[in-house]
Amino acid sequence: MKDLTSAMWIKVKGILFLILGIAAATLLVLEHPTWKVGLLLALAVWCFCRFYYFAFYVIEKYVDPGYKFSGLGSFAKYLWQSRKK
């Protein structure tokens, strides 16, 4: 599959991710409408966002500026290879 390069389609893709995330979170909370479920869902989303930031910004900018990640698979490979050293 070739890389997505159109600015418009990149924005559309981002908006679709946002819509799908909101829909999934809404359905989960509607399935079990408790404060506990809502707070745990919010915490999980926040933690995954922080992990994503860590994987693609912190590692690249502060730990290994020479390595460019292309996805979470690339990040997992990087971690696995750095464990072997």
Main-chain phi, psi angles of 68, to 5 degrees: -115, 125
Query: How much is the pTM?
Result: 0.69
Torsion angle of C-alpha atoms 52, 13, 16, 74, degrees rounded to 10: -30
> 41: which residues sit within 8 A by CB, 6+ positions away?
25, 28, 29
Higher pLDDT, 15 or 79: 15
Handedness of CA 26, 28, 34, 38 (dihedral sign): negative
Per-chain mean pLDDT for the chain: 88
What letters, b where the CB count within 10 A reaches 16 and e where it falls short, cover 29-53? eeeeeeeeeeeebeeeeeeeeeeee
